[in-house]
A and B are shown apart, each in its own frame.
Chain A
Amino acid sequence: MHRVEIEKLTKFYGERQVLDQIDLSVSDHEVVCLIGASGSGKSTLLRCINGLTEFDEGSIRIDGVDIYDESFGRTGLYKKVGIVFQAYNLFPTMSVLGNITLAPIKVHGRPRAEAEAAAMKLLDLFGLGQYAKSYPEQLSGGQQQRVAIVRSLATEPEVLLLDEVTAALDPELIGEVLKIIHDLKQTGMTMVIVTHEMAFARDVADRVCFLDGGRIIEQGAPRELFSKPENPRTQKFLQRIIESGRLAALV
């Protein structure tokens, strides 16, 4: 079954076309990585999927239901699809626990005690239990990003969108965040991941899509796409990454 079905998705910012007839389906438990140069439309595509950005043409369905269908109500979509951003975007005036329980309590009406117990369980699961009472600015970037992931899991989404979640981190902190994502894959979480970490994409993805100029111009299993890309633009993109030294071990 398809968790996410995107059809002919088209989006303009003013005159500028950012997404051009994107077709993409993500199956249950599948992990799809989106790669591509800066400005190719990766973030925009993610934000369309959970309704943060409106699009001009095409359709997006989650579990077969259009994301603008009334049956989602005001909050249904946000419960099904979670997103994590590059800059964590934790609320600095709230504790870690406050950040995580905000949506369960205020949006989904769960009793505070229940929401906090569930949040603590998640925090413990990800080795963050001791930081429940801390404030975001007291944590390292890696810890903040892990808290942000936990926050997006607190509403028990069925699809998780990750937008360059390690791009703002110091190299030594990237590993702990990537490990969580690997763990999530083990639990069967369906994920769409935008990343510049090609080695990570190769390891975690079931499928890699290469975006260029708002189009998916090539996709496939990571080993194939990375070792013998067919489209010359994909070749050029990967070539540049290899030359920059960030991808020596990839192929």
Chain B
Amino acid sequence: MTRRPGKGRRKIALKDRLTPVLISLASVVVVFGSIAWFVGSAPQWPRIQLQFFSIEAMVEAAPGVARGFLVSLQIWLVSLVCIGIWALILAIFRAMSGPWFAPLRVFAIVYVDLFRGLPALLLVLLLGFGIPALNLPGLPREGLFWGGVALILSYSAYATEVYRSGIEAVHEGQSMAAKSLGLTQWQTLRYAILPQALRNVVPAMLNLVVALQKDVALLSVLGVRDAVREAQIYTARTFNYSSLVVAAILFLLATIPLARLTDHLQRKDRQRRLQGAL
């Protein structure tokens, strides 16, 4: 069953395998090296460097930005869990058929239409400033809380659609088989459909995970001291933008491996499907 496509290539000489790698390396070095040289030799470069890439400023700003980045990560993780669960519930509402479940279905449809149609920033502003301003007793008043809620509301609309596409991609024969065995609608979803659907949606979900990681920065407009906010504070004090570059680097360090992982899983998924189709 497990075929190893690489096995047949073992006989190719080491030299022949190394040559393409060396050529790629050399061309990358040449192209990016000349860009770097070109930029570096531009007359404005020292000013740019001072403004954006001042090592001194970066070191100075780093602890604050890193602390903020930890806050970003926490918001990100907590929101992810909430989105994953809430969207799954909505997708299940959506998938239940029969007249009794009509209210739940309608709720899920309206919910997705509504929150997918609104910019996340607008929701963040609306909830993050609006609800604390109401001064309602018993409700939390922190921008952090309501900003997080806004992100969860917005992203769970997308995540619901991802789950739904995963559920719909499961072949109709599966639910027919489950029904013929006497499983209830819920048991059919629970044992036959959802396990396959969840497996199907992992790559698409990871795309949302990466997107959310960046959108956590939206909460900085509420004064939440995340990475972007901390970097801005430093910038406002020193008129130097290197702190923002530090934040940028931290974001990239987190998102690029995730994006690679997504690509990898997507590729594996495609292969699995192709093999299944044979």
Residues of A that sit less than 8 Å from B by CB: 50, 52, 74-75, 78-79, 82-83, 85, 87, 89-94, 102-103, 106-108, 137-138, 151-152, 155
Sample of 10 A–B contacts (CB below 8 Å): A74-B182, A75-B182, A79-B182, A85-B173, A87-B173, A91-B178, A92-B196, A93-B196, A94-B191, A103-B182
Given contacts A93-B199, A138-B1, contact A106 B177 (CB under 8 A): no
Q: Most chain-A Cβ atoms within 10 A of its Cβ — which of B177, B191, B196, B199?
A: B177
Contacts of B1 in A (CB 8 A): 138
Known pairs A52-B176, A106-B183; list 14 more (Cβ under 8 Å): A74-B182, A75-B182, A82-B180, A85-B173, A89-B176, A89-B177, A91-B177, A92-B196, A94-B191, A102-B191, A103-B181, A106-B187, A107-B183, A108-B182
Distance in angstroms between the alpha carbons of A138 and B173 in the assembled complex: 19
The closest CB in chain A to the CB of B184 belongs to A74
Q: Are A83 and B182 in contact (CB under 8 A)?
A: no
Q: Are A78 and B176 in contact (CB under 8 A)?
A: no
The closest CB in chain A to the CB of B190 belongs to A106
Within 8 A of A (CB), among B191-213: 191-192, 195-196, 199
Distance in angstroms between the alpha carbons of A92 and B180 in the assembled complex: 17
Contacts of B192 in A (CB 8 A): 91
Contacts of B191 in A (CB 8 A): 91, 94, 102, 106
- Is B238 in the interface zone, CB < 8 Å from A? no
The closest CB in chain B to the CB of A79 belongs to B182
Q: Name A137's contact: one of B171, B173, B182, B276 (CB within 8 Å).
A: B276
Q: Name A102's contact: one of B171, B181, B199 (CB within 8 Å).
A: B181
In the complex, what's the smallest C-beta–C-beta distance from A87 to chain B, in angstroms? 5
Given contacts A93-B195, A137-B276, contact A155 B180 (CB under 8 A): no
Contacts of A78 in B (CB 8 A): 179-182
Q: Are A83 and B180 in contact (CB under 8 A)?
A: yes
Distance in angstroms between the alpha carbons of A87 and B178 in the assembled complex: 14
In the complex, what's the smallest C-beta–C-beta distance from A165 to chain B, in angstroms? 13
Q: Are A102 and B183 in contact (CB under 8 A)?
A: yes
Contacts of A50 in B (CB 8 A): 180
Q: Could you tell me how many residues of chain B have their Cβ less than 8 Å away from some Cβ of chain A?
A: 20
Q: Are B183 and A103 in contact (CB under 8 A)?
A: yes
The closest CB in chain B to the CB of A148 belongs to B177
Distance in angstroms between the alpha carbons of A137 and B272 in the assembled complex: 10
Distance in angstroms between the alpha carbons of A138 and B245 in the assembled complex: 50
Contacts of B183 in A (CB 8 A): 102-103, 106-107
Contacts of B195 in A (CB 8 A): 91, 93-94
Distance in angstroms between the alpha carbons of A91 and B177 in the assembled complex: 9
Distance in angstroms between the alpha carbons of A203 and B171 in the assembled complex: 33
Q: Most chain-B Cβ atoms within 10 A of its Cβ — which of A82, A102, A108?
A: A102
- Is B97 in the interface zone, CB < 8 Å from A? no
- Is B74 in the interface zone, CB < 8 Å from A? no
- Is B174 in the interface zone, CB < 8 Å from A? yes
Contacts of B171 in A (CB 8 A): 87, 89
Distance in angstroms between the alpha carbons of A89 and B192 in the assembled complex: 10
Q: Name B182's contact: one of A92, A138, A155 (CB within 8 Å).
A: A155
Q: Are A91 and B179 in contact (CB under 8 A)?
A: no
Q: Which 8 A-B pairs have the closest CB atoms?
A: A78-B182, A89-B177, A103-B181, A93-B195, A75-B182, A107-B182, A89-B173, A83-B180
Contacts of B181 in A (CB 8 A): 78, 102-103, 107, 151-152, 155
Distance in angstroms between the alpha carbons of A50 and B177 in the assembled complex: 11
Within 8 A of A (CB), among B82-102: none
Distance in angstroms between the alpha carbons of A94 and B9 in the assembled complex: 35
Distance in angstroms between the alpha carbons of A118 and B43 in the assembled complex: 83
Distance in angstroms between the alpha carbons of A94 and B184 in the assembled complex: 18
